[in-house]
Amino acid sequence: MRIRKKKEWENLFEELKLLLNSLQIDYRETKRIKIKGGLCKVKGMKVIILKRDIDPEEKCETIKKELRGIDLEPIFIKEDVREFLEE
């Protein structure tokens, strides 16, 4: 796993949100949860809910963990984002 600076984590997080959109997974942030976040279904729609006050690195790692069970091979993903997901 390579070391990233805060700005790199922020950029990666934005790219992951675009990926979620292309997978038709909604993204939300809230202060109301006690865990970092996760994937769930709300009214039949897949949603990743993340704790609002965690840093971008933790948000990226949580999204990566939740995407592990989804086949991403046929989807175009930028090289640096794919590398992160495969770490």
Residue type, 61: E
The tens digit of pLDDT for each residue in 6-36 reads 999 999 999 999 999 999 999 999 999 889 9
Q: Would you state the pLDDT for residue 27?
A: 94
Residue ranges per domain, the chain? 6-86
Whether the per-residue pLDDT at 1 is higher than 70: the answer is: no
The tens digit of pLDDT for each residue in 39-82 reads 999 999 999 999 999 999 999 999 999 999 899 999 999 999 99
Q: Would you state the pLDDT for residue 34?
A: 87
Q: Would you state the pLDDT for residue 3?
A: 85
- 51: which strand partners? 30
Q: Would you state the pLDDT for residue 69?
A: 86
From residue 69, alpha-carbon distances to 14, 31, 52, 63, 72 in Å are 21, 26, 24, 11, 9
